[in-house]
Chains A and B, each alone.
Chain A
Amino acid sequence: MDVLPTVWFALIATLWIGYLFLEGFDLGVGMHLLFSARNENQRRVMLNAIGPVWDGNEVWLITAAGAMFAAFPIWYASLFSALYLPLVFVLLGLIFRAVAIEYRGKGKTARWKRGWDLALGVGSLVSAFGIGAALALTTTGLPIDANGDRIGGAFAWFTGYAVIGGLAVVGFSLVHAASFLALKTDGDVRHAGRAFARRAAPIALLPLLVWVVALQISRGTALTWTIAAVAVVAAVGAWLANRNRQEGWAFVGFGAFLAACMASIFAASYPVVLPSTIDHAFDLTVANASSSPYTLGVMSVVACFGIPLVLAYQGWTYWVFRQRVGANHIPEAHPVEPAVRPS
């Protein structure tokens, strides 16, 4: 067994789980802005619940992609070029989302705010779907040739798995965000969050389970089936906790569900990082797609030092902003007028 490539595969899987766990609720809050919030104050409560942390959460994506580039350049190159169009949509979605969060409150008119809400909501939806599709496809396979290049045209990636993966991340993000809002806000938004999680979870979490089961059937082992079973237990526990108004446990439970689902998916995929649907001889694996032992060694040292540090200060941020955000915390919007004497 190649120790370092295996460690890095596990590390990259962990980064993706961290990303989906953390940005999952950010993306979900973005989508909830479109339909769950009933007025401007509620929208601002939702937005400010993720306000101090969303940008840090998004760095998990950059780090996951960067780690793939550094540790498995062949995987990074093949996957990203094969998924050209969906990833461009992910980028466009993330661009709109980021700018919308910063800019929506800085305008005067209702039209300005509505426009940015739309950018934020649709941007979140599109990026969640695209990232889910990409992850589903790297575990289920793409039509790549011996050189790792996609064949079959710009839409060769569009399969049932892409849709299931996309729906999986969208559905999970919606439930996770509702549970997050129940935990992090007060008043109407909190109650709406709890109600949404109760009603939606049984359906919205299904696509993720379908993806898990599909992979277990084709490549599962006793271990990965066990992890998948843990995921189901976590989801049921989270749903019950949410019903019993134990918001903290519900949030942890939904997070554990995601972590266990993704762990079972990645563990079942190992050692293949990107299967070829044309010929399994073209599969990219941790062995044939990885960087040299020297590079992996250097990166391991950096990761040993960097990742605990990131967890420590990101954890501290959540501690600093642990207070629930309620309607009464939102300052009045203040119009910016030119500081000019009327002539």
Chain B
Amino acid sequence: MDVLDPLLIARWQFGITTVYHFWMVPLTLGLGPLVAIMQMMWHRTGNERYYRMVKFWGKLYLINFIMGVATGLVQEFQFGLAWSEYSKFVGDVFGAPLAMEALLAFFVESTFLGLWIFGWNKLPRAVHVACLWIAVAGSVVSAYFIIVANSWMQHPVGVDLVNGRPVMTDVWAVFTNNTAISAFTHTIFGSLGVGGAFLLGIAWYQLWQRRRDGIDTVGVDKRVIVGEALEIPGRDRADHGMWLTSLRIGAVVAMVAFAGVAISGDAQAKLMFEQQPLKMAAAEGACHTGTSFSVLSVGKLGSKNCNDVTPVIEIPGLLSFLAHGDFTTNIKGINELIPQYQAKYGTTLPDDPIYGARAGQAIDYLPVMEVTYWGFRLMIGFGGIAAFAAFVALWLTRRGTVPRPRWLMQLAVAGILAPFAANSAGWIFTEMGRQPFVVAPNPSGVDGVYMFTAAAVSPGVSFGEILFSVISLTLVYAVLMVFELRLLVRYVRGGVASAIPELDRRNDPDSSDDGPSSGDVLAFAY
């Protein structure tokens, strides 16, 4: 039974599709507002540099956006497909934010983005940029709705238990769940970090390419001497300014985002120590009650015996500070928490047909410690690396261009991945840290409002069906990732002319940057 277990494979499917979906989403959330600001700057200053930025970054934004849309469909369907018991249990409260997300956010996002894409030269300029702002707002609102739904699984509020099912009694409580507000803030800053690193890495590559091709040089005062190469489309003098501005915007955004992530993350952790103490204890590998934060623990984290974990480096008092803001309050360790969970939620799964062959099995309240411990640290580590790299990048480019070494360029491009990795690690940590619950109990909420993951899967769906879908979705996602990356690389290598074909008319005195030459031709067409 263990090998052909629908529950295990359904969890893998959810994990794979969700982590993948959340590679596209933070880039959409992070890049969208930056493109909108660029377009506003263009309208306000008339500086062509910003026009080029809008066109180029907007193109990459759209290549990525569509993948978020396509993979988002799977998310909404798979609650019903693979998790029908979950859907029935939580439907009264969980369905509402999902429906509102579609009605109030997705419609706005897709309709106004369509207007923006096809509206160049068709809509008045103020209306055109407003369409982008509205679409971006739609993305942000959709993030809020889906995080409200997720946060209810972490910390159920605003419900009563009627006939064994949670029934919504206070929609305001659901939508102002403190878990949701801190997680939403954390996610938005985390996404801005992705957008910032994306700008930084690609702009660095472009500036480096200009130096490598001998277009820009460095004078005796080490300041940049901007040149041009008219035979390469787009590589004129204005090109340099566009990339330098993009790089600086990206670096500043990445640093601001990290500050926001740190502050919101701190608030979120303090809530989590109260709401899901075992998740935080597992994130610490903290067996025993105490005050110390683990910098490094070794041992068999994966082993379920917590005493196999040996702290190597600890900072006394820091854990208490993270959880409570002082240095002395004891934080409950795993060894103290598990008996409390057992006393409250039982030692074995109930003898209910919903659990199938698992009924009566012992409940393991400890999440996979390797994942929670390292997920937590990788999240913070990658986030910190990205912010530090942004700071260094600003310093290295203070004289108007990037240093010559190729490895620095490669590092800047690779740095794009750091905030993505931080986002994935954070979500894997918080979702796997919630196990064995799919709806974690709220310590101060209504009794009985929780659900074990083992009870959530669709009883009527076979292992073979889920195996088929997880394999086909994973393969399709992998293939599409290759195509997305190929297109992104092609457009990045093409520079600004890839997004503004008019720049390609070399030495053409009529070439204008302000749109198509013929009134009949669409400004944009698939």
- Interface, chain A (partner B; CB < 8 A): 44, 47-48, 51-56, 58-59, 61-63, 65-67, 69-71, 73-74, 76-82, 84-85, 87-88, 91-92, 94-96, 98-99, 101-107, 144-145, 147-151, 153-154, 291-292, 294-295, 298-299, 302-303, 306-307, 310, 313-314, 317, 320-321, 325, 328-331, 334, 336-341
Contacts and interface: CB of A to CB of B under 8 A. Distances in A.
Interface stretch (B118-126, B188-196, B270-278, B361-369): B118-126
Q: Residue among B69, B85, B162 with the most chain A CB within 10 A?
A: B69
Interface string B404-422: 0000000000000000000
The 6 closest A-B pairs by CB, nearest first: A73-B91, A80-B80, A339-B495, A70-B95, A149-B460, A69-B95
11 contacts: A48-B526, A51-B114, A56-B114, A85-B465, A85-B469, A105-B525, A295-B167, A298-B96, A310-B111, A336-B494, A341-B229
Contact of A295 (B74, B92, B114, B460): B92
Nearest to A143: B460
Contact of B91 (A48, A102, A291, A313): A291
Contact of A341 (B72, B171, B214, B520): B214
Nearest to B114: A52
Interface residues of B, number: 95
A21 B79 CA distance: 26
B458 A74 contact: no
Interface string B459-470: 111101110110
B110 interface: yes
Interface in B81-125: 81-82, 84-85, 87-88, 90-96, 98-104, 106-108, 110-115, 117-119, 122-123
B494 A69 contact: no
Interface stretch (B28-36, B232-240, B373-381, B386-394): B232-240
Contacts of A294: 167-169, 171
A155 to B, nearest CB: 10
A338 B213 CA distance: 12
A307 to B, nearest CB: 7
A311 B460 CA distance: 38
B84 to A, nearest CB: 4
Contacts of B460: 81-82, 144-145, 149-151
Q: Residue among B66, B91, B112, B209 with the most chain A CB within 10 A?
A: B91
Nearest to B85: A77
Contacts of B1: none
B526 A44 contact: yes
A105 B213 contact: no
B4 interface: no
A63 B123 CA distance: 28
A56 B82 contact: no
Contacts of A52: 114-115, 117-119
B282 interface: no
Nearest to A341: B213
Interface of B is mostly: helix
Contacts of B501: 331, 334
A127 B122 CA distance: 33
A205 B233 CA distance: 52
Interface string B462-497: 101110110011001000100100010011011111
B497 A339 contact: yes
Contacts of B111: 53, 55-56, 59, 310, 313-314, 317
Contact of A331 (B80, B473, B516): B516
Contacts of A310: 103, 107, 111
Given A88-B81, A95-B71, A329-B525, A291 B232 contact: no
Contacts of B498: 336, 339
A321 B269 CA distance: 49
A339 B87 contact: no
A320 B504 contact: no
A76 B86 CA distance: 11
Contacts of A63: 99, 102-103, 106-107
Contacts of A84: 81-82, 458, 461, 465-466, 469
Contacts of A73: 87-88, 90-92, 95
B67 interface: yes
Nearest to B145: A66
B73 interface: yes
Contacts of B85: 77
A102 B63 contact: yes
Given A55-B114, A105-B525, A66 B81 contact: no
Contacts of B235: 339
Nearest to B517: A331
B58 to A, nearest CB: 13
A77 B88 contact: yes
B521 interface: yes
A73 B166 CA distance: 12
Q: Residue among A47, A56, A303 with the most chain B CB within 10 A?
A: A56
B98 A69 contact: yes
B76 interface: yes
B209 A291 contact: no
Contacts of A87: 77, 81
Contacts of A303: 103
Given A78-B84, A292-B92, A70 B464 contact: no
Given A56-B110, A148-B84, A339-B233, 9 more contacts: A70-B96, A73-B95, A80-B80, A88-B465, A95-B73, A99-B66, A306-B104, A310-B111, A331-B501
A85 B99 contact: no
